[in-house]
DNA sequence: TTTTTCTTCAACCATTTGGTTTAATTATTG
DNA sequence: CAATAATTAAACCAAATGGTTGAAGAAAAA
């Protein structure tokens, strides 16, 4: 009878819905950081940033190890896996679209290849982008 | 100089951080639904549910087509793809863990197979779960 | 036209969020 | 010991969130 209003996914997605917190997670990829280290890059007050760390912690995305007077934080990606598992259900609803886009691009490539064939051959046009912008 | 405080990812993750909205997205997988249809299953007021639809719409997760007096909504998964692309960056931080888990389970399976070998052979133990609980 | 249906809009309320500042806590260092 | 460093805790604030109710609009049906 604990009247749970938010399930784990609510809390994880909420934690991810803030650019500051996503930035913290990104920096934790390179290894453990203290709360102070995590807070340093941001313009806000230390206490403000520490609150963000706490949100990440409550979402289970970071784990904290108190070591002397500093609190070391490290990424715990398990909950991210859960979030991605949820999203994966919807993969088919965008891959369909991407597939047709892919088809279109392939057709374009083929046409371009035909036109270019008079001059040279170009086996794999390599339409890979992987552009991301991060954080 | 528009002073954008929230980027697209903020808004998408926030939209996903509510069970009601995730439920709506799930139901939209089966096809278009009116706002009324979307609202029906929930205990809250119609206007309350309609607000959730609007949040999804502003996040770019649903698109609305006004048709007569009913507003048809349909899933637009492109933004979900962006969210998953972000999560994909972290895949390596949980697959490492899952790999060792996998190794452990494989070892268990192998042992079980050895024990069972005296009675019968079982080619693919099929440790696939895909359990999800959805929404 | 009148009524009903589907929907938005506006006002309101309680709670949460993201931020601040100041004070308190805890561990290290001089 | 006293001083400093790393952090939390508490009180506060403005804005956003998630919900309500009641009214209004526009399209369809009577």
In a domain, A17, yes or no: yes
Are B21 and B60 in a shared domain? yes
In a domain, A44, yes or no: yes
**Using the beta-carbon criterion (under 8 Å), do B78 and A97 form an inter-chain contact?**
yes
Residue A66: which domain range? Answer: 8-82
* Predicted pLDDT of residue A97: 60
Banded pLDDT at A5 (limits 50, 70, 90): confident
Give me the count of residues in chain A: 135
Return the CATH number at B29.
Answer: 1.10.10.10
Are B58 and B104 in a shared domain? no
Banded pLDDT at B2 (limits 50, 70, 90): low
Phi, psi of B68 (to 5 degrees): 65, -130
Are B47 and B96 in a shared domain? no
In a domain, A60, yes or no: yes
> Crossing angle of helices B8-16/A8-16, nearest 10°?
170
Sequential DSSP letters for A12-79:
HHHHHT-HHHHHHHHHHTTS-EEHHHHHTTSSS-HHHHHHHHHHHHHTTSEEEEEETTEEEEEE-THH
Between CA A49 and CA B76 the distance in angstroms is 34
Between CA A88 and CA A102 the distance in angstroms is 20
Adjacency order of strands within the sheet including B33-34: B33-34, B70-75, B62-67
Are B92 and B33 in a shared domain? no
Evaluate whether A84 touches B88 at the Cβ level (below 8 Å).
yes
In a domain, A35, yes or no: yes
Does residue B70 surpass a pLDDT of 90?
A: yes
pLDDT digits (tens, 9 = 90+) for B82-130: 999 999 999 998 876 655 555 554 554 454 444 444 333 333 333 333 3
Residues 9-68 of A, Cβ under 7 A from nucleic strand D? 34-37, 39, 46-47, 50, 53-54, 64
Tokens at B56, concatenated: 């999804």
In a domain, B128, yes or no: no
Phi/psi-derived region of residue A2, left when phi > 0, alpha when psi is between -120 and 50, beta in every other case: alpha
In a domain, B47, yes or no: yes
Are B57 and B102 in a shared domain? no
In a domain, A125, yes or no: no
Are B20 and B44 in a shared domain? yes
The total number of structural domains in chain A stands at 1
Nucleotides of chain D in contact with protein CB (under 7 A) are 5-10, 17-23, 25-28
Provide the chain A residues 44-73 that lie in CB contact (below 8 A) with chain B. none
Q: What mean pLDDT value characterizes chain A? A: 79
Are B32 and B91 in a shared domain? no
pLDDT digits (tens, 9 = 90+) for A45-82: 999 999 999 999 999 999 999 999 999 999 999 999 99
Banded pLDDT at A132 (limits 50, 70, 90): very low
Evaluate whether A62 touches A78 at the Cβ level (below 8 Å).
no
Are B21 and B62 in a shared domain? yes
């Amino acid at each position: 009878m604990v009247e749970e209003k938010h399930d784990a996914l609510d809390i994880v997605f909420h934690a991810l819905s803030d650019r500051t917190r996503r930035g913290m997670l990104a920096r934790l990829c390179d290894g453990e950081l203290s709360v102070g280290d995590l807070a340093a890059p941001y313009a806000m007050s230390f206490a403000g940033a520490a609150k963000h760390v706490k949100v990440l912690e409550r979402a289970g995305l970071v784990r904290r190890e108190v070591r002397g007077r500093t609190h070391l934080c490290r990424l715990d990606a398990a909950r991210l896996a859960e979030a991605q598992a949820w999203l994966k259900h919807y993969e088919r609803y965008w891959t369909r679209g991407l597939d047709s886009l892919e088809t279109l691009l392939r057709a374009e490539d083929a046409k371009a290849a035909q036109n270019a064939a008079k001059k040279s051959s170009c086996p794999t046009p390599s339409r890979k982008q992987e552009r991301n912008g991060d954080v």
